């Protein structure tokens, strides 16, 4: 039976994790939520402290200034942009606006896709990514299912695997979807970690797909909930017609504008990510008993060896105050997998040391080497 729960548990619940393992929140290393550890930026911090007066005012119901900034950044018009209370709210709006009978997912993927589609009355068709192929996407497999679906939802890159269709293949899919009068929702919540793979520029030529982005991850603004979608004017208008009034609060609008204009922070994060992601992945890859899957985003999927009891193994890590994202609620994954975020070098080294100590206690270096 396929898993579905109308209430989904995500990472980032530090309070709940603290109570579960009996450690103070201050001692928890949160590897469960994929937030840029370098942010928020100094510019955002400054504007935050200067924005107290906004609390007594209603926000702009149309988020005009923020919408204009996004449109200029993407070289689109404001009619192509909708701002909302985070990416999940916009995914829900898009599904309601498109109202598909059948939705195609490539799984494991962000669990909200399945939940929101089912809540809207859609049937789910699913393509399973193969761990033996490192969860790589297959354009052919997706093309083969196009005649059986109304809407395809893809993570680009995908959560929790960090993989994605190449930009070339995704553009081929967009063209085919357009020809068959279907629709494609592309979740680019993590695209800032691999910006060269974005397909948002294709919106100038095609009207059958929607791009959704979040300011949560790269800009470290998870606490204020802010995201946006870019698409054809007719779909954006329909989404706006379904959207609640004041869906983006005043503080979120102000900080979102500041974050998107802060090119220095963006470039600094890129430089850090390229170095630390590679270093951390190499360390993970050299450990026996745990497989790390390559990722284009700021997280990695890990799988512990079948020689060990996975629940016990990962719980030992957690008891040391390391908050991991369990993956048993993802289609196609089980308790042997966890997802971990990329943090600063010091915290990543703590994770490697804790993982090594756990592997030593299991005899991994002796039993699995040579």
Provide the pLDDT for residue 277: 98
Three-class SS of residue 212? Answer: strand
How many degrees, rounded to 5, is the angle at CA 111 between CA 237 and CA 174? 50
Locate tokens 């983006």: which residue? 248
Low-confidence ranges of the chain (pLDDT < 50): 1-4, 367-370
How far are the Cα atoms of 106, 328, 339, 340 from residue 325, in angstroms, in the given order? 20, 9, 5, 6
Provide the pLDDT for residue 8: 63
CA neighbours within 13 Å on the CB side: how many for 161?
A: 26
| Encoded tokens for 214 | 């979040």
Q: What is the pTM of this model?
A: 0.94
CATH of domain 14-34+264-362: 3.90.1150.10
pLDDT tens-place string over residues 114-136: 999 999 999 999 999 999 999 99
pLDDT tens-place string over residues 11-20: 899 999 999 9
Domain boundaries, the chain: 14-34+264-362, 42-261
Asked if omega into 29 is within 30° of 0 (cis), the reply is no
Provide the pLDDT for residue 370: 42
- Are the beta carbons of 355 and 348 closer than 8 angstroms? no
Provide the pLDDT for residue 179: 95
Distant-in-sequence contacts of 203-208, Cβ < 8 A, 24+ apart = 203/74, 203/76, 203/80, 203/230, 203/231, 203/232, 204/75, 204/76, 206/174, 206/175, 206/178, 207/178, 207/231, 207/232, 207/234, 207/235, 208/174, 208/177, 208/178, 208/181, 208/182, 208/183, 208/184, 208/232
CATH topology for 42-261 is 3.40.640
Residues in a beta bridge with 300: 340
- Return the closest-CA partner of residue 331 out of 166, 128, 184: 128
Provide the pLDDT for residue 54: 94
Provide the pLDDT for residue 327: 95
- Distance of alpha carbon 78 from alpha carbon 70, whole angstroms: 8
Provide the pLDDT for residue 361: 87
| Encoded tokens for 221 | 């603004």
DSSP string, 90-124: HHHHHHHHH--SEEEEEES--HHHHHHHHHTT-EE
- Distance of alpha carbon 346 from alpha carbon 351, whole angstroms: 9
């Amino acid at each position: 039976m396929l898993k579905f729960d109308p209430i989904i548990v995500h990472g980032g619940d530090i309070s709940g994790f603290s109570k579960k393992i009996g450690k103070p929140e201050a001692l928890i290393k949160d590897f469960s939520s994929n937030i840029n550890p370098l942010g928020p930026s100094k510019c955002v911090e400054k504007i935050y402290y200067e924005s107290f007066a906004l609390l007594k005012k209603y926000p702009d119901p149309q988020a005009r200034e923020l919408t204009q900034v996004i449109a200029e950044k993407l070289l689109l018009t404001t009619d192509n942009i909708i701002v909302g209370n985070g990416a999940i709210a916009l995914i829900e709006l898009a599904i309601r606006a498109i109202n598909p009978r059948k939705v195609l997912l490539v799984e494991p993927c962000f669990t909200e896709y399945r939940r929101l589609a089912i809540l809207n009355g859609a049937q789910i068709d699913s393509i399973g990514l193969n761990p033996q192929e490192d969860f790589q996407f297959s354009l052919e497999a997706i093309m083969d299912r196009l005649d059986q679906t109304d809407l395809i939802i893809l993570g680009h890159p995908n959560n929790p695997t960090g993989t994605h269709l190449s930009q070339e293949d995704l553009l081929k899919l967009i063209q085919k979807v357009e020809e068959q009068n279907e629709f494609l929702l592309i979740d680019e919540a993590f695209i800032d970690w691999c910006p060269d793979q974005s397909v948002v520029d294709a919106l100038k030529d095609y009207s059958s797909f929607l791009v959704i982005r979040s300011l949560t991850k790269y800009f470290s603004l998870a606490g204020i909930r802010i995201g946006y979608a870019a698409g054809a004017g007719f779909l954006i208008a329909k989404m706006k017609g379904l959207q609640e009034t004041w869906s983006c609060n005043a503080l979120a609008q102000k900080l979102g504008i500041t974050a998107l204009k802060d090119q220095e922070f963006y470039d600094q994060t890129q430089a850090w990510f390229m170095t630390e992601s590679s270093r951390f992945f190499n360390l993970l890859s050299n450990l026996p008993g745990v497989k790390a899957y390559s990722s284009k985003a700021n997280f990695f999927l890990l799988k512990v060896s079948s020689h060990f009891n996975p629940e016990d193994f990962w719980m030992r890590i957690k008891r040391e105050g390391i908050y991991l994202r369990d993956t048993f609620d993802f289609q196609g994954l089980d308790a042997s997998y966890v997802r971990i975020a990329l943090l600063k070098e010091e915290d990543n080294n703590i994770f490697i040391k804790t993982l090594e100590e756990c592997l030593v206690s299991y005899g991994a270096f002796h039993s699995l080497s040579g």
